[in-house]
């Protein structure tokens, strides 16, 4: 048997190749992006990924803490690993991400199967923590950082379609919405060096990717001052009066200019911070997608005040009007929380009426879940009974379903440029992609493949999908 140079090397250092890891991701796109970073960090150290916990030496769960039920699901998953650990007593179980950061070493006390707890800013220490784990030992690293952006790490893409990818442009959040645990689990906001963002996007394009989504908890507050993140502003400008300031609008423009065939998306925008400058950049470049996710959370000014969102109903509506005026044909989605502290029937009705006015294309709807340590948990009572929260959520859902259907029906007869992402699960001849407005479009074609741009005329729809025919 012959070995290549690298194989020889790895055989000479057995601990470098001996470990296989299984990584499972919960929660938002940011967590998917973080898992791609963790995979890169572990692979660099010689770890190999496996698709089953039974084959792994290390099982990692990258977790979410945004609502209680997200954490409950993870606890059930941890318990389900008991049988795997019984068969392989050396198995290391690690909890990463927001739940790890929220509970810290308490998680080890509450979930005895867990060996390692690592927060979102401490992933670089993961290989060392795993290696240093002594028989029966436990390890925790939940230090939050003001600098860490993993800017130098080239993520291992896990989405699998080879066409769309996430790029993290910043980490953390300074907004302190009263219901939200994110500022506590992901720490202070910091922006990533734009040069490294551009390089990542260019590399993806060269590898055949055709769409990047720029990720941040609040992309509108992205800021980089020639040679340093926002906090270094005074120092940098004192040293260099001509230092270039990169705002989110200018970053978006830079990425759009990489190649006209590279589509650019971003999330999440914040009504409090989204500028018209950003809207004009979106309007100017055909390859910046005409889609904005703008969480409203609630429709009444009194609720928005309690939520500490930094805008009221009127300001939210003015942002919507600006989008409609500057970017005609832009689709808009939102997040809504039902049953936040002391929400009256009147306030709930105002949420429904704001939805009526905006006519969102899509909405992510949640019932309020109190998170320990947040402003709301300290200041307000979680006093809306669960049945009422659920009834209100159902009303919001029904309202949105009707609206999504109406909006999709209005697309019938229109022609959209679709970026093909994959073949449909049902049939090899059916392709699935999205238009600029982020709507999922299914059509039949034997001539096209993932990565192609195809003009499709919409013929039918459901509330979630558009169906169409290729335009010759």
Residue count, binding to ligand 5AD (CB under 6 A):
12
* CA dist., res. 379 & res. 406, Å (int): 40
Q: Which of 182, 279, 354, 396 binds ligand SF4 (CB under 6 A)?
A: 182
Binding of ligand 5AD by 66 (CB under 6 A): yes
* CA dist., res. 442 & res. 465, Å (int): 7
Q: Which of 62, 63, 141, 175 binds ligand SF4 (CB under 6 A)?
A: 175
* CA dist., res. 137 & res. 219, Å (int): 40
Binding of ligand SF4 by 367 (CB under 6 A): no
DSSP string for residues in 317-383: HHHHHHHHHHSTT-EEEEEEEES-TT--HHHHHHHHHHHHHH--SEEEEEE----TTSHHHHHS---
Residue count, binding to ligand SF4 (CB under 6 A):
10
Say if CB 2 and CB 30 are below 8 A apart. no
C-alpha 217: how far from its chain's center?
Answer: 8
Rounded alpha-carbon distances, angstroms, from residue 228 to 145, 237, 394: 15, 10, 46
Q: Which of 30, 78, 167, 180 binds ligand 5AD (CB under 6 A)?
A: 180
| Token pair listed for 99 | 């739940």
Say if CB 465 and CB 450 are below 8 A apart. no
Question: What is the total residue count of the chain?
Answer: 472
Q: How far is the CB of 290 from ligand 5AD (least distance, A)?
A: 21
CB neighbour list of residue 55: distance below 8 Å, 6 or more residues apart: 20, 22
Q: How far is the CB of 175 from ligand SF4 (least distance, A)?
A: 4
39 binds, among ligand 5AD, ligand SF4, none (CB under 5 to 8 A by kind): none
270 binds, among ligand 5AD, ligand SF4, none (CB under 5 to 8 A by kind): ligand SF4
Site map (CB under 6 A) of ligand 5AD, residues 355-374, x = contact: -----------x-xx-x---
Rounded alpha-carbon distances, angstroms, from residue 439 to 245, 279, 436: 34, 20, 8
Task: Return the SS3 of 247.
Answer: strand
| Token pair listed for 455 | 């003009």
Q: Of 58 and 320, which CB lies nearer to ligand SF4 in the complex structure?
A: 320
Say if CB 223 and CB 229 are below 8 A apart. yes
Site map (CB under 6 A) of ligand SF4, residues 128-167, x = contact: ----------------------------------------
Which residue blocks in 115-247 are alpha helix, DSSP H? 126-132, 182-185, 194-206, 233-239
Q: How far is the CB of 371 from ligand 5AD (least distance, A)?
A: 5
Binding of ligand 5AD by 186 (CB under 6 A): no
Q: Which of 23, 98, 103, 177 binds ligand SF4 (CB under 6 A)?
A: 177
Say if CB 199 and CB 232 are below 8 A apart. no
311 binds, among ligand 5AD, ligand SF4, none (CB under 5 to 8 A by kind): none
CA-only gyration radius of the chain, Å: 23
Q: Which of 19, 67, 223, 290 binds ligand 5AD (CB under 6 A)?
A: 67
Give the other-Cβ count within 10 Å of 396's Cβ. 22
236 binds, among ligand 5AD, ligand SF4, none (CB under 5 to 8 A by kind): none
218 binds, among ligand SF4, ligand 5AD, none (CB under 5 to 8 A by kind): ligand SF4
217 binds, among ligand 5AD, ligand SF4, none (CB under 5 to 8 A by kind): ligand SF4
Q: Which of 169, 180, 255, 363 binds ligand SF4 (CB under 6 A)?
A: 180
Q: Which of 21, 26, 179, 291 binds ligand 5AD (CB under 6 A)?
A: 179
Say if CB 362 and CB 388 are below 8 A apart. no
366 binds, among ligand SF4, ligand 5AD, none (CB under 5 to 8 A by kind): ligand 5AD
| Token pair listed for 210 | 């055709």
What does the angle CA 331 – CA 333 – CA 339 come to, to the nearest 5 degrees?
155
Site for ligand 5AD in 290-349 (CB under 6 A): 295, 297, 335, 337
Say if CB 285 and CB 253 are below 8 A apart. yes
Q: Of 175 and 408, which CB lies nearer to ligand SF4 in the complex structure?
A: 175
Site for ligand SF4 in 233-292 (CB under 6 A): 270
C-alpha 263: how far from its chain's center?
Answer: 17
66 binds, among ligand 5AD, ligand SF4, none (CB under 5 to 8 A by kind): ligand 5AD
Q: Of 30 and 96, which CB lies nearer to ligand SF4 in the complex structure?
A: 30
Q: Which of 53, 127, 183, 229 binds ligand SF4 (CB under 6 A)?
A: 183
Contact residues toward ligand 5AD (CB under 6 A) are 66-67, 179-180, 295, 297, 335, 337, 366, 368-369, 371
Contact residues toward ligand SF4 (CB under 6 A) are 173, 175-177, 180, 182-183, 217-218, 270
């Amino acid at each position: 048997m012959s070995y290549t140079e690298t194989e020889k090397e790895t055989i000479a250092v057995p601990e470098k190749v001996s470990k296989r890891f299984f990584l499972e991701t919960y929660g938002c796109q940011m967590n998917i992006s973080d898992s791609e970073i963790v995979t890169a960090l572990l692979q660099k150290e010689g770890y190999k990924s496996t698709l089953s916990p039974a084959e792994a030496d290390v099982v990692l769960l990258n977790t979410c803490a945004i609502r209680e039920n997200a954490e409950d699901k993870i606890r059930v998953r941890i318990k389900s690993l008991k049988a795997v650990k019984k068969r392989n007593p050396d198995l290391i179980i690690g909890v990463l991400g927001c739940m790890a950061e929220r509970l810290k070493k308490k998680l080890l006390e509450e979930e005895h199967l867990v060996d390692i707890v690592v927060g979102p800013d401490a992933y670089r220490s993961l290989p060392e923590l795993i290696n240093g784990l002594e028989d029966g030992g436990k390890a925790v690293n939940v230090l939050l950082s003001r600098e860490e952006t993993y800017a130098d790490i080239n993520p291992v893409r896990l989405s699998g379609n080879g066409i769309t990818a996430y790029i993290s442009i910043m980490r953390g959040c300074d907004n302190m919405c009263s219901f939200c645990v994110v500022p506590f689990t992901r720490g202070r906001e910091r922006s990533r060096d734009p040069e490294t963002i551009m390089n990542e996007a260019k590399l993806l394009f060269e590898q055949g990717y055709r769409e990047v989504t720029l990720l941040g908890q609040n992309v509108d507050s992205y800021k980089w001052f020639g040679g340093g993140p926002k906090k270094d502003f005074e120092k940098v400008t004192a040293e260099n009066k001509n230092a270039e300031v990169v705002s989110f609008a200018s970053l978006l423009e830079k990425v759009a200019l990489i190649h006209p065939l590279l589509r650019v998306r971003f999330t999440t925008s914040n009504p409090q911070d989204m500028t018209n400058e950003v809207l004009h950049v979106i309007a100017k470049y055909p390859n910046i997608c005409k889609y904005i996710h703008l969480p409203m959370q609630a429709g009444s000014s009194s609720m928005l005040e309690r939520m500490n969102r930094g805008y009221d109903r009127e300001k939210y509506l003015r942002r919507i009007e600006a989008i409609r005026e500057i970017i005609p044909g832009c689709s808009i989605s939102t997040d809504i929380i039902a049953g936040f502290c002391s929400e009256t029937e009147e306030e709930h009705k105002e949420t429904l009426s704001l939805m009526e006015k905006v006519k969102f294309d899509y909405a992510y709807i949640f019932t309020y879940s109190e998170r320990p340590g947040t402003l709301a948990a300290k200041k307000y009572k979680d006093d809306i009974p669960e049945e009422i929260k659920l009834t209100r959520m159902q009303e919001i859902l029904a309202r949105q379903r009707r609206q999504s259907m109406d909006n999709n029906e209005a697309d019938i007869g229109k022609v959209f440029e679709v970026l093909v992402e994959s073949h449909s699960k049902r049939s090899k001849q059916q392709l699935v992609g999205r238009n600029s407005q982020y709507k999922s479009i299914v059509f039949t074609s034997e001539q096209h493949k993932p990565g192609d741009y195809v003009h499709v005329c919409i013929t039918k729809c459901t509330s979630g999908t558009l169906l169409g025919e290729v335009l010759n």
